[in-house]
A and B are shown apart, each in its own frame.
Chain A
Amino acid sequence: MEAVNLLSSNRYTEKQIGYLFISVLVNSNSELIRLINNAIKNDLASRNPTFMGLALHCIASVGSREMAEAFAGEIPKVLVAGDTMDSVKQSAALCLLRLYRTSPDLVPMGDWTSRVVHLLNDQHLGVVTAATSLITTLAQKNPEEFKTSVSLAVSRLSRIVTSASTDLQDYTYYFVPAPWLSVKLLRLLQCYPPPEDPAVRGRLTECLETILNKAQEPPKSKKVQHSNAKNAVLFEAISLIIHHDSEPNLLVRACNQLGQFLQHRETNLRYLALESMCTLASSEFSHEAVKTHIETVINALKTERDVSVRQRAVDLLYAMCDRSNAPQIVAEMLSYLETADYSIREEIVLKVAILAEKYAVDYTWYVDTILNLIRIAGDYVSEEVWYRVIQIVINRDDVQGYAAKTVFEALQAPACHENLVKVGGYILGEFGNLIAGDPRSSPLVQFNLLHSKFHLCSVPTRALLLSTYIKFVNLFPEVKATIQDVLRSDSQLRNADVELQQRAVEYLRLSTVASTDILATVLEEMPPFPERASSILAKLKKKKGPGTVTGLEDAKRERGVDVNGGPEPAPASASAASTPSPSADLLGLGATPPAPAGPPPSSGGLLVDVFSDSASAVAPLAPGSEDNFARFVCKNNGVLFENQLLQIGLKSEFRQNLGRMFIFYGNKTSTQFLNFTPTLICSDDLQSNLTLQTKPVDPTVDGGAQVQQVVNIECVSDFMEAPVLNIQFRYGGTFQNVSVQLPITLNKFFQPTEMASQDFFQRWKQLSNPQQEVQNIFKAKHPMDTEITKAKIIGFGSALLEEVDPNPANFVGAGIIHSKTTQIGCLLRLEPNLQAQMYRLTLRTSKESVSQRLCELLSEQF
Chain B
Amino acid sequence: MIKAILIFNNHGKPRLSKFYQKFSEDTQQQIIRETFHLVSKRDENVCNFLEGGLLIGGSDNRLIYRHYATLYFVFCVDSSESELGILDLIQVFVETLDKCFENVCELDLIFHVDKVHNILAEMVMGGMVLETNMNEIVTQIDAQNKLEKSEAGLAGAPARAVSAVKNMNLPEIPRNINIGDISIKVPNLPSFK
Contacts and interface: CB of A to CB of B under 8 A. Distances in A.
Contacts of B84: 228-229, 231-232, 235, 268, 272
A637 interface: yes
Interface in A712-747: none
Given A308-B47, A545-B58, A225 B91 contact: yes
Nearest to B86: A232
B136 A170 contact: yes
Contacts, number: 159
A243 to B, nearest CB: 13
A563 interface: no
B129 interface: yes
A522 interface: no
A455 interface: no
B125 A57 contact: yes
Contacts of A545: 58-60
Contact of A170 (B58, B92, B133, B152): B133
A91 B147 contact: no
A664 B47 contact: no
B80 interface: yes
A638 B127 CA distance: 39
A413 interface: no
Interface in B132-175: 132-136, 140, 143-144, 147-148, 151-152, 155
Interface in B29-67: 42-43, 45-51, 58-60
A183 B82 CA distance: 7
A529 interface: no
Interface stretch (B68-76, B102-110, B113-121, B177-185): B113-121
B47 A270 contact: yes
Contacts of A90: 130-131
A170 B137 CA distance: 11
B153 to A, nearest CB: 10
A20 B130 contact: no
Interface string A637-656: 11100000001010100000
A51 to B, nearest CB: 11
Interface stretch (A8-16, A35-43, A115-123, A608-616): A8-16
Given A180-B89, A309-B47, A649-B192, A11 B151 contact: yes
Contacts of A647: 193
B126 A180 contact: no
Given A13-B148, A130-B130, A229-B88, 18 more contacts: A12-B148, A16-B118, A27-B22, A56-B125, A57-B125, A61-B121, A61-B125, A63-B126, A126-B132, A170-B136, A228-B84, A228-B91, A232-B84, A268-B47, A268-B87, A271-B49, A308-B47, A651-B192
A306 interface: yes
B146 to A, nearest CB: 10
A232 B50 contact: no
Interface stretch (A93-101, A105-113, A432-440, A620-628): A93-101
B95 to A, nearest CB: 9
Interface in A214-268: 225, 228-229, 231-232, 235-236, 267-268
Interface of A: 11-13, 16-17, 20, 23-24, 27-28, 50, 56-57, 60-61, 63, 87, 90-91, 94-95, 97-98, 101, 125-126, 129-130, 133, 136, 170-171, 173, 179-180, 183, 187, 225, 228-229, 231-232, 235-236, 267-268, 270-272, 305-306, 308-309, 544-545, 548, 637-639, 647, 649, 651, 664, 666, 706, 708
Given A12-B151, A13-B147, A171-B133, A24 B117 contact: yes
A271 B47 contact: yes
Residue of A60, A637, A651 contacting most chain B CB atoms (<10 Å): A60
Interface of B: 1, 20, 22, 42-43, 45-51, 58-60, 80, 82-85, 87-89, 91-92, 114, 117-118, 121, 125-136, 140, 143-144, 147-148, 151-152, 155, 189-190, 192-193
Provide the main secondary structure of the chain A interface.
Answer: helix
Q: Can you list the 4 inter-chain pairs with the closest CB atoms, starting with the nearest?
A: A98-B126, A232-B84, A60-B126, A306-B46
13 contacts: A12-B144, A13-B147, A57-B125, A94-B126, A129-B132, A130-B130, A170-B133, A183-B85, A229-B84, A232-B87, A270-B47, A309-B47, A545-B59
Q: Most chain-B Cβ atoms within 10 A of its Cβ — which of A173, A544, A637?
A: A173
Contacts of A706: 189
Given A28-B22, A57-B121, A232 B129 contact: no
A179 B83 CA distance: 12
A173 B87 contact: no
B114 A17 contact: yes
A95 B126 CA distance: 7
B60 to A, nearest CB: 7
A306 B118 contact: no
B91 A664 contact: no
B58 A171 contact: no
A667 B110 CA distance: 48
B128 A97 contact: yes
A272 B129 CA distance: 21
A101 B83 CA distance: 22
Contacts of B20: 61
A638 B131 CA distance: 51
A235 B49 CA distance: 15
Contacts of B147: 12-13, 50
Contact of B49 (A268, A638, A666): A268
Nearest to A190: B80
A500 to B, nearest CB: 35
Contacts of B143: 50
Contact of A708 (B51, B117, B151, B189): B189
- Which of B45, B92, B128, B192: most chain A CB closer than 10 A? B128
Contact of A16 (B85, B129, B144): B144
A225 B148 CA distance: 34
Interface-central residue, B42, B59, B82, by most chain A CB under 10 Å = B82
B47 A544 contact: no
B132 A171 contact: yes
A639 B189 CA distance: 15
A91 B49 CA distance: 28
Contacts of B88: 173, 179-180, 225, 228-229, 232
A545 B58 CA distance: 9
Contacts of A637: 192
Contact of A94 (B47, B80, B125, B193): B125
Contact of A236 (B43, B82, B89): B82
Nearest to A181: B132
Contacts of A228: 84, 87-88, 91
A242 to B, nearest CB: 14
Nearest to A11: B151
A283 to B, nearest CB: 19
Nearest to A98: B126
Contacts of B140: 87
Contact of B82 (A20, A171, A232, A271): A232
A665 to B, nearest CB: 11
Contact of A98 (B82, B83, B127): B127
Contacts of B129: 129, 133, 180
Contacts of B92: 173
Nearest to B125: A94
A439 to B, nearest CB: 54
A637 B193 CA distance: 12
Nearest to B49: A271
Contact of A235 (B48, B82, B118): B82
Nearest to A265: B45
Contacts of B155: 13
